[in-house]
Every structure is written in C-alpha cells, then in structure tokens.
Amino acid sequence: MNEALTILIIVAAGATASLLALAVGLLLRRSRHRMAAQLKARPALRKQLAGSGLLRLGYPLLHGLAGPLGAVTPRRLMDEWNDLARRAGRPAGLAGDEFIALAALIGVAAAGFIGGGLFLLAPSSESLLGLCMVIAGPLLVYSSLRARAEAREHHVQMALPYVLDLLVLTLRTGTSLNLALRRVAADYATHPLGHEIDQTLSEIEVGAPRREALARLGERTSVPEMVTLVETINQAQDLGWPMADTLERLAEGMNTNRVVKAQDSAGRAGSLVMIPAMLVMGSAVLLIFGPMIVRILRGDLALS
C-alpha cells in the first residue's frame, strides 16, 4: 500500500512538474514582448540586468509571473509592496509585483524542497506538512525589504546635514543648484542619497521640470527632513530667496533638532540605567539582610 502510494505521488509530481514547465515556457514567451517596452522606461533595471547574469536569466520568469500575480493580489496589499519596494530603493530595479513573484517562487521552491525531501526520507502524511514552507517566501522577501527600507532611510537621514553643508559651500562659490547637486551626487556616489540625487538630475536632464523631479525625490526617500529640504528649495526658487542662505538656515535648524533629539535620548537612557541599578541594589540588600530575616521568621534570632 505504501509502495503504491509512493509511486502515485511520484507520478503526480512528474505530471505537475511537466505542466509547470509548460506554463513557465508560455509565460516566458509572453513576457519577452512586454519586457522590451518596460526596459526603455526603467534605466535602473537595465543597468542591473547588464551587470548581473543571474538576474538577466531569472528576470523573464519574474516578469511573466508578476502580471498574473499582480492581477489577483488585493489593491491594498499591492500598494504596500510597491511602497516598500520604493522605500528600499527598488533593489535590483524590481517593482512591487515582481517582488511578489519572487516571494511566490521562493515559497514554492522551499515547500517543494523541504516537503519532498521529508516525504522521500519518511513517506507519511505528516511529511507533507513541509508544504507549509510556502509561506517562507513571502515572509523572507517582505522582512528583507522592510529591513532594507529602514536601514536606507536611516542612512539618508544621517547623511542629510552633511549634504546640506556641502550644498551651501558649493553654492557659495557661485555655481548653480544643478551643478551643486551634481557635486553632491559625485561625492556620495556609493550612498543611497547620492543615488537618489543622481536619478533626480537624470530626470531633469531628460526634460522633467525641476520642481516635479525634486518632489519625486522627497517621495522616494520617505524621510521627513528630505521632504522639508525639497519644499524649502522649491519655495526659495518661487520667492527668489538666496538659495545658499536659505539652505544654511535649514542646516542650522536640522543640526539644532539633532542636538535636541540626542539630549532627549541621553535623558531617557539615564532613566533606563536606573532600572538595573535598582535591581542590583535590591539584590545586594537581600544578600546582606536575607539570612537575618529568615532567622527572625524561624524564631532562631530573638529581637530584644
């Protein structure tokens, strides 16, 4: 009975693999026609594909799965994945629906590998619980994107005051705002903020209004200080304020806020340090007076 069940499952697995291979082939054929048009509008993805052979090999499958999976994904969940991919800087140039496809592939691969391995080692219905590993893909990809987004926003927030100082120094020499931003992008070429500023300058060079390009810069970074910087630059241009003086006052305000936040953090840390100190003091009191209290309670030590 067990041998017949094993043979039946192996045959079913082979048929399923054949159908999956056929479906993947059809998806790849359909996705190639849409990829060419999308790659023209996504220079970051073209750059990633040119530098990674693995991504170039697997992207057609991701792109083919992204369409059907995106169509059945609830709109709110799709918006959340798109927002998370944007905050993370679109790793590998992928969009939210393509990350959903990647999560599905990882989940299916994990479930097939672990569930199939458990069944071959110990054929039983309990071994099929390995198929529950299908949720590992979405959890892994989502947590990785979330951690990357938070780290990226932290790096941007920490570097922004220094970027402002560099902008002010460059503008003081009489250069234009675009050249000052280009200098920042060159000096921070390996930093997430440098990548975002470089993308903004590329949008301006191809004809996008600077106001709209800067607004998109604030949206992509999702850092409140960066949004304030963008609004300040646009307001200074509209009202004709001196750009260097305006950014210098903004930098002073940001530095003041950072000092205040650091002082608040130090004050909270001092309060938290009192908790282990009180615990240690209580433990010391128990060690010293504990034996005496026990003897008094037992009546071994009379109080006169």
Q: How far apart are CA 123 and CA 117, in angstroms?
A: 10
Residue 140's pLDDT is what?
87
Question: What is the domain extent for residue 170?
Answer: 151-255
Residue 1 lies in a domain: no
157: left (phi over 0), alpha (psi -120 to 50) or beta: alpha
pLDDT in tens, 143-152: 999 999 999 9
Classify residue 138: in a domain, yes or no.
no
pLDDT at 136: 78
CATH of the domain at 218: 1.20.81
> Token pair for residue 211?
């106001």
Q: Where is average pLDDT lowest: 80-94, 101-115, 212-226?
A: 101-115
pLDDT digits (tens, 9 = 90+) for 44-90: 655 655 566 666 666 777 777 777 787 888 889 888 888 888 888 88
Kindly state whether residue 45 falls inside one of the protein's structural domains: no
For the segment 11-35, the average pLDDT, to the nearest whole number, is 54
Span 261-280, average pLDDT: 72
Q: For the chain, what percent of residues have pLDDT higher than 90?
A: 10
Bigger pLDDT: 81 vs 128: 81
HSE at residue 126, side-chain half, CA atoms within 13 A, is 2
Q: How confident is the model over 135-157, as a mean pLDDT?
A: 88
Is residue 20 included in any domain, yes or no? no
Q: What is the chain's mean pLDDT, rounded?
A: 77
**Residue 68 falls inside a structural domain:** no
Q: Which pLDDT score is estimated for 9?
A: 56
Spell out the SS3 assignment of the chain: CHHHHHHHHHHHHHHHHHHHHHHHHHHHHHHHHHHHHHHHCCHHHHHHHHHCHHHHHHHHHHHHHHHHHHHHCCHHHHHHHHHHHHHCCCHHHCCHHHHHHHHHHHHHHHHHHHHHHHHHHCCCCHHHHHHHHHHHHHHHHHHHHHHHHHHHHHHHHHHHHHHHHHHHHHHHCCCCHHHHHHHHHHHCCCCHHHHHHHHHHHHHHCCCCHHHHHHHHHHHHCCHHHHHHHHHHHHHHHHCCCHHHHHHHHHHHHHHHHHHHHHHHHHHHHHHHHHHHHHHHHHHHHHHHHHHHHHHHHCCCCCC
In a domain? residue 156: yes
On whether residue 202 sits in a domain, the answer given is: yes
Residue 112's pLDDT is 74
Q: What is the mean pLDDT of residues 144-173?
A: 90
Q: How far apart are CA 292 and CA 299, in angstroms?
A: 11
Task: With a cut of 50, say whether residue 34 has pLDDT above it.
Answer: yes
Q: How far apart, in whole angstroms, are the C-alpha atoms of residue 248 and residue 161?
A: 10
CB 218 within 8 A of CB 226: yes
Task: Kindly report which listed range (140-149, 163-172, 286-295) carries the lowest average pLDDT score.
Answer: 286-295
Whether 194 maps to a domain, the answer reads yes
**Tokens representing 90?**
């679109």
pLDDT > 50? residue 1: no
Confidence of residue 182 (pLDDT cuts 50, 70, 90): very high
- How many domains does one find in the chain? 1
Smallest CA-to-CA distance from 56 within 39, 81, 33, 37 is with: 39
What does the block give as tokens for 247?
């950014």
Q: What are phi and psi of 94, to 5 degrees?
A: -85, 150
For the cut 50, the answer to whether the pLDDT of residue 96 exceeds it is yes
| Amino acid sitting at position 228 | T
Phi, psi of 272 (to 5 degrees): -70, -30
